[in-house]
Structure 1
Amino acid sequence: MHPFPVIRVPSMPLPRYRSLRLGLPGPKLTEALVSHAPDMVHLACPFLLGARGVALAQQRRMPCLAVYQTDVAAYARTYVGWGEAAVWKWMRTVHNGADRTLAPSTRSAADLVAHGIQRVWLWQRGVDTVRFDPARRNDLVRKALAPNGEVLVGYVGRLAAEKRVDLLARTCDLPGVRVVIVGDGPARRDLEKALPKAVFLGARHGAQLARLFASFDIFAHTGPHETFGQTIQEAFASGLPVVAPSAGGPVDLVTPGVNGTLVRPEDDDALAGAVAQLATDGELRRQYGLNAREGVEGRTWSAVGDELIAHYQSILASPGVTRHVRVAA
């Protein structure tokens, strides 16, 4: 068997968001755990597939670590309009079955604890500082997007209702500013109508995405329900100042007066005002951008991976952890 086998499982689309899919448990999961006989079960954003993983880990006495990445309760609130309490009840069952839950930000960790989830630890994310680099700034890209020398304000992310990209409407009206939106999702058509002055580029990846990041002047983040905010780190690595809501993961990342500005969540006037201040002060943008890059240079994926391994080792060394019994395939 390959030392790192990848087992594909069935999935189902989320209601009203068919491009996002949830993995479904099945016999392949049991077979994989039995045949691979891991020392640790790592659950990435456990909900359905992960819930079965927790149950199997408990049955086979395997140590188990869960990683909280997505605010599923907010999805229930936004797309269904009910069921938030039921989601939290289910998440308590799943996460409390693990030996440890890792949260990506202090706000998300506090949210988990407030909803009865135990043994929560902080584990933030890394960023590729080689791919995302200010040196990738491209004059041709800038000329195409800002033919009259406009200040480029970028948004990168999924275009979905909970991301509140519509809050950029007032920012689009700022003189000398061009808003560029990178990403796709179910709200794109509505957003194109709501933000007629913005440039929509669709999804971009790899080197093309890195060039766009580096070619922006300001990065605007709008979503109030982010558990972390990975695109903020990518903007920082690209040398950009960031304007973001003072909610969720961005609170850990953006230091006002150092690498960006935090504004009241879902306040389009405050968002536009913060962007306007940066748009009219090139030296402030430059200094924030330098600070932003410096602040993430130590957050490599290698360093973050070492932190994860330390969590594995800590769990395995805990007195209450029972080693699993290996079963031949």
Structure 2
Amino acid sequence: MRVALVTESFPPDVNGVAHCALRTAEHLAARGHAPLVIAPTAPARDRAAEADAAAPCPVVRVPSLPLPGYRQVRVALPGRRVAAAIAAHRADLVHLASPFVIGAHGVAGAARLGLPCVAVYQTDLGGYARAYLGIGENAAWHRLRTLHTAADRTLAPSTASAADLERHGIPRVHLWPRGVDAVRFHPAHRDAALRQELAPGGEVLVGYVGRLAPEKRVELLAGVAELPGVRLVVVGDGPSAANLRAALPSAVFLGRRTGGELASIYASLDVFAHTGPMETFCQTVQEAMASGIPVVAPAAGGPLDLVSPGRTGLLVPPDDPDALRDAVRRLATTPRLRAAYGLAGRAAVEGRSWAAVGDLLIGHYEEVLAERRSRKTTASEVAA
């Protein structure tokens, strides 16, 4: 298949949409298909050039502007470049990764060319509108409904997000989870020297990994940071970084980390704590589980599918700092429980490789293409 992958974000961006788009392109190329990535220009031109050169397929960059207040997020500008790239690629199918801005150009281009679309839902934009603006949630869902209804199939990463999509009137919703690199993220990468550096007094290491942005609610970890014998480690960057450093003065902030360095940090933790209540999947929870680390997360969105309470971790009410602190304290003071949850978490995700998940995606593509062929055959028969 020749697939045009239109994505709102792509490396060197570091986020779930960019990572999933890269992994999808890699898998399609590895299986002998012909992907093309169409993405907004990145904020750092040199790093973008390096990322594109390392990509498993050609990458077309569309002019973009930074989102006001969050310059790491780019918004594609209107134009015909998306449709032209799809046509030049002679695509059989268009894959829309978290469509909202550039994805709208992808929908329009596919419609003009008579091509089927698969839309992947990855970002709770309605929730973001509520969190950032206090208004606009209905408008965001109206746009999402328009884009996803135009697609032949919408793929949701979790049962919670699938239910949310259906509740907002989006049709033809199917589940497609996310993979994890269980070789990179592995308990064997636990680093005694790193632990000594981060916790010189032998403290229990509790970590958060992810973007530092308002919707992630990282400030809820303030109570965790003050627990006796606990050292809070925060990995990531974003618009809330300065405020969080002030709100969590005893925490260790490591900034953005990737690759093997990030894998070592995960494996060197004792507890992983996630705080964001608007995760459609929550890849960092899955990476922590692959690293053999017990998880505390909100009982909302993607973590509902990932965390088995009392077996691989603990779920707490969203936006409840006291419940979050108490759950972390329970694990911090019970080494045997941490070990049991960590082993169970690792076992739960070992089979969720990107190859296995990528094959599921190709299955969705094949079904959509077969449905299109069937409709064309039926239409021809009716016309005859």
Q: For this structure pair, what is the TM-score category when the shorter chain's length is used for normalisation?
A: over 0.9
Q: Is the 8 A contact 2:83 2:110 kept in 1?
A: no
State the alpha-carbon separation in 2 of the partners of residues 119 and 11 from structure 1.
31
CA contact (8 A) 1:16 1:79 kept: no
Question: 2:240 corresponds to which residue?
Answer: 187
C-alpha contact 1:15 1:79 (8 A) present in aligned 2: no
Q: Are the structure 2 counterparts of residues 284 and 14 from structure 1 closer, same or farther at C-alpha, using a change threshold of 3 Å?
A: same
Query: Aligned AA for 2:265?
Result: L
Amino acid at match of 1:108: S
Equivalent position of 2:82 in the other structure: 29
Other-structure match for 1:244: 297
Q: Any idea what the Cα deviations from partners look like across 1:253-306, whole Å, max 9, x if unmatched?
A: 000011000000000000010001101110100010000111111000000000
How much does 1:140 deviate? 0.4
- Displacement of 1:25: 4.1
Q: 1: distance between equivalents of 2:375 and 2:227?
A: 58
Superposition map of 1:205-224 within 5 A: 205-224=258-277
* Gap regions ≥5 residues in structure 1: 324-329
| SS in structure 1 of the partner of residue 88 of structure 2 | helix
**Deviates most, 244-253 or 74-83:** 74-83
**Where does residue 335 of structure 2 map in the other structure?**
282
> Structure 1 residues 142, 321: closer, same or farther in 2, change over 3 A?
farther
- What RMSD over aligned residues (CA atoms) do the two structures have, in Å? 1.4
Structure 1 residue 196: deviation in Å? 0.7
Letter in 1 for 2:87: V
For residue 201 of structure 2, what is the aligned residue in structure 1?
A: 148
Q: Does structure 2 retain, via aligned residues, the 8 Å contact 1:11–1:21?
A: yes
Greater RCO (CA < 8 Å, at least 6 residues apart): 1
CA pair 192-321 structure 1, distance change in 2 beyond 3 A: farther
Match of 1:201 in 2: 254
Give the alignment's TM-score, normalised by structure 2.
Answer: 0.82
Partner residue of 1:326?
Answer: none
The residue number in structure 1 matching 2:113 is: 60
> d(CA) in 2 for partners of 1:227 and 1:162?
13
CA distance in 2, matches of 1:89, 1:227: 18
One-letter identity of the residue aligned with 1:317: A
Distance apart, 1:322 and its partner CA = 4.8
Match of 1:47 in 2: 100
1:13 Cα offset (Å): 2.1
Q: Could you tell me which of 355, 364, 380 is aligned with 1:302?
A: 355
| 1:98 alignment partner in structure 2 | 151
State which drifts further: 14-23 or 130-139: 14-23
Q: 1:172 aligns with which of 208, 225, 248?
A: 225
Question: Does residue 1:128 correspond to 2:171, yes or no?
Answer: no
Q: Given that residues 83 and 108 in structure 2 are in contact (C-alpha distance below 8 angstroms), is that contact kept between their aligned partners in structure 1? A: no
2:211 and 2:174 mapped to 1: Cα distance? 27
SS state at 2:207 partner: strand
Distance 1:250 1:114 in 2: 19
Q: Sequence identity of aligned pairs in percent?
A: 61
**Alignment correspondent of 2:313:** 260
Equivalent position amino acid for 1:76 in 2: A
Closer, same or farther in 2 for the Cα pair 1:203/1:139, shift >3 Å?
Answer: same
Equivalent AA in structure 2 for residue 47 of structure 1: F
Compared with structure 1, are the counterparts of its residues 133 and 303 closer, same or farther at alpha carbon in structure 2 (3 Å cutoff)? same
Structure 1: distance between partners of 2:375 and 2:353: 30
The aligned amino acid for 2:68 is: P
Deviation at 1:109, TM superposition (A): 0.8
The residue that corresponds to 2:365 in the other structure is: 312
SS of 1:132's equivalent in the other structure is coil
| 1:2-17 to 2 correspondences below 5 Å | 4-17=57-70
Q: Secondary structure at the match of 1:155?
A: strand
Any idea what SS the aligned residue of 1:47 has? coil
Bigger helix share = 2
Query: How many angstroms apart in 2 are the aligned matches of 1:22 and 1:321?
Result: 35
Q: In structure 1, what is the Cα distance between the partners aligned to 2:266 and 2:251?
A: 16
DSSP-derived class of the 1:18 partner: strand
Structure 1: 4+ residue segments shifted above 6 A = none
Q: What's the CA shift for 1:23?
A: 2.8
Give the secondary-structure state (helix, strand or coil) at the position aligned to 1:121. Answer: strand
Residue 228 (structure 1) aligned to one of 253, 259, 281: 281
Contact map agreement 1:315 1:321 (CA 8 A) in 2: no
